[in-house]
Amino acid sequence: MRYSTLLTIALQYKTWNKKTYNNKISALRRAFEFGYRDHPEHANPAWALKGARISRRDRLRIDPFRIQDAEALIIAIRRDWGEAQGNFHELRFFTGLRPSEEIALKVQDFDAKAATLSVTKARVYGIDNDTTKTHEDRVIQLCPRAIAILERQLALYRHLKTRGRIDHDQLFCNDNGTPIRTLGHLAKCWRKSLARLGLRFRRPYCARHTSVSWNLMIGKNPLWVSRQHGHSLTTMFRTYAAWTDGALESDVAIIRSAMNDERSAIEAASSELPVKSASVAGLGTGLATRPEWPKKQLAEIKENLKWRRGWDSNSKTPIEISKFMKYLTLCVPRRPLLYPHLAADLAVGHPPNIE
């Protein structure tokens, strides 16, 4: 195989996302490296293939959920798809686990006494890896809400195992009791529930972004937050710090309450009055949270402008434009006045008597 042939094939896929392209090129290089170990006398042509350079503009902009929208989505998923999926997605928001890490969790990873969760493995495209994305194991300290979620999931696991529907030690499973091998079905259910609520689309991975943002908003130590979520301190400050500046005090109070609440989202919603979310997101952004809000905002603007339309079209008090311009010309001096606003007041409110 010649380098020019490989390059021609690779250039046909330049339309891919840069990250996807780099992942494919990396896999290709590894495959050729493995194959050419049997032929050390030959040069590996894949080593010369270069990946695409990813700049800050190419990185996806994070879009965390407001606590009100997250709670509404958790309730919708639980009602639409059942308790198992409800627990799975709810845990995302309150632990910040990567999807590949969450579907690889086992029952023994949860320590109820120590209130911790061990994250030591991942499952990517159905393949089990004995390490995480960053190749570093970590132990997550769980908030009361996350502990309650895992206890409910453990109760469901024991119930299904007693009935003989599962014969594995995976913490989360599909509706039929089999382990979750891929994320396609979970993402589809997430998307349908999100659309039914009328919220703007966000990837399921945004639940992880939301968890990081919430912890920073309530004043958690940034070093602790970075260790909890398994990324560097530099990445956290570069990606998430901007979202803490525009945090609403009301949102911060609700987030603290949600993290310390051991009830499920449905139980909490049924025992309290529904929380009315603001018309626009308060996490440092002015984007509308619902697709219908721009129309409502436009209607409000038109409503506020009705006085101008009524004044302009009032048939009882017609305005002669030429006469008004004459008044304005005579009232505006050629030299600056001591009180410059006087001319404008006279022109608009009290025109002089002109014969």
Q: In this predicted model, what pLDDT tens digit does every residue of 168-197 receive, in sequence order?
A: 999 999 888 889 999 999 999 999 999 999
The pLDDT score that the predictor gives to residue 183 is 92
Residue 214 near residue 243 (C-beta atoms within 8 A): no
C-alpha 103/C-alpha 217 separation (Å) is: 27
Closest C-alpha among 349, 265, 253 to residue 70? 265
Residue 294 DSSP SS3:
helix
Helix boundaries (H) for the chain: 3-11, 18-35, 67-81, 83-95, 99-102, 144-162, 184-197, 206-217, 222-229, 233-240, 249-259, 265-271, 293-304, 306-312, 321-331, 341-348
Question: Mean pLDDT score of the chain, rounded to an integer?
Answer: 77
The mean pLDDT value for 256-275 works out to 68
Q: Is the pLDDT of residue 287 over 50?
A: no
The mean pLDDT value for 224-244 works out to 78
| Most confident of the ranges 15-29, 194-208, 215-229, 321-335 | 194-208
Phi, psi of 264, rounded to the nearest 5 degrees: -75, 165
For every residue of 119-152, DSSP letters joined together read E--EEETTEEESS-TTS--EEEEPPHHHHHHHHH
On the 0-12 / 13-18 / 19+ scale of CB atoms within 10 A, 322 is exposed
On the 0-12 / 13-18 / 19+ scale of CB atoms within 10 A, 75 is buried
The pLDDT score that the predictor gives to residue 280 is 35
Q: How far from 249 is each of 94, 217, 246, 282, CA to CA, in Å?
A: 19, 9, 9, 10
The pLDDT score that the predictor gives to residue 80 is 94
The mean pLDDT value for 246-275 works out to 71
The mean pLDDT value for 286-303 works out to 48
Residue 229 DSSP SS3:
helix
Q: Is the pLDDT of residue 350 over 50?
A: no
The pLDDT score that the predictor gives to residue 345 is 39
Task: Give me the residue spans of the domains in the chain.
Answer: 3-58, 67-296
The pLDDT score that the predictor gives to residue 321 is 44
Is the model more confident about 143 or about 43? 143
Is residue 99 left, alpha or beta, with left meaning phi > 0 and alpha meaning psi from -120 to 50? alpha
Structure tokens at 222: 């940034």
Instruction: Decide if domain 67-296 falls under CATH 1.10.443.10.
Output: yes
DSSP 118: E
The pLDDT score that the predictor gives to residue 92 is 95
Is residue 41 left, alpha or beta, with left meaning phi > 0 and alpha meaning psi from -120 to 50? alpha
Q: What is the pLDDT of residues 324-340, one digit of tens each?
A: 444 444 444 444 444 44
Is the model more confident about 316 or about 144? 144
